Amino acid sequence: MKTSSTLLAIAYSLVLTTSMFAEETLLVDPFTAEPVSARRAMRGDWRIAEGIARCTQDDELYKKYKDHGPILFYDLPYQDAVVRFQYRPHGARSVVFTMNSQEGHVLRVITTERGTDVRAFPPGEGVKSISLQRVADLPLVDDEWTSVEVSLRGDRALVKINDKQVADVSHATFRAAKSNLSVGFSFGTLEVRGLSVTH
């Protein structure tokens, strides 16, 4: 009898602990014909249907926006979060994921043919951004889906690419209250799918 009571107490404790640490979904973009109120598809002709957002850079728009390519913005207030998405480039030169506060950029993950760079944006004038970790052997891979997961807790960020942890970095700027996030690219074409934000 004592053993069954102990087992019951352990089981209850596990259920309680699991529910305490379960992820809360803040946003899911199904990329269908239905609009997503938080999403702003900008600087290009984004085609969104059947689970995928697709855009090809317009060079005139690139010039108009001062060398900034097409971008998907998500207006969403959050502090700590786990963001997941997949992208497939076709001739793109860079893919950029950014978390922003009301004051500006907070964290950025940039992937180019030269690798992947995780950057922070210290407040104050004179400093645009600093590289916290660069991974040279993780370049853009054309015509293949790449999965990205950025987990931000306090001043610490973990970055996974294709389910492999590639960066574990810290910076005080990460503690800022965030107001949106974005996925953008330059040149060529980009497809995005499976974007979600949990807490």
Q: pLDDT: is 163 or 64 the higher one?
A: 163
CA gap 135, 137 in Å, rounded: 6
CA gap 105, 101 in Å, rounded: 6
Task: Check if the beta carbon of residue 194 is closer than 8 Å to that of residue 84.
Answer: yes
Question: Which of the four pLDDT bands, split at 50, 70 and 90, describes residue 10?
Answer: very low
Asked if residue 121 has pLDDT above 80, the reply is yes
Domains of the chain, each with CATH number or no CATH: 23-198 (2.60.120.560)
Task: Check if the beta carbon of residue 55 is closer than 8 Å to that of residue 39.
Answer: no
Tokens of 18: 């699991």
What's the pLDDT score for residue 13? 46
What's the pLDDT score for residue 126? 67
Asked if residue 64 has pLDDT above 70, the reply is yes
What's the pLDDT score for residue 59? 77
What's the pLDDT score for residue 12? 45
Question: Which of the four pLDDT bands, split at 50, 70 and 90, describes residue 170?
Answer: very high
Question: Which of the four pLDDT bands, split at 50, 70 and 90, describes residue 14?
Answer: very low
Q: pLDDT: is 33 or 183 the higher one?
A: 183
Question: Which of the four pLDDT bands, split at 50, 70 and 90, describes residue 63?
Answer: confident
Phi, psi of 69 (to 5 degrees): -85, -175
Q: Cβ-count burial of 84 within 10 angstroms (0-12 exposed, 13-18 middle, 19+ buried)?
A: middle
pLDDT, tens only, 65-87: 677 889 999 999 999 999 999 99
The rounded mean pLDDT for the chain is 88
The share of the chain scoring above pLDDT 90, in percent, equals: 74
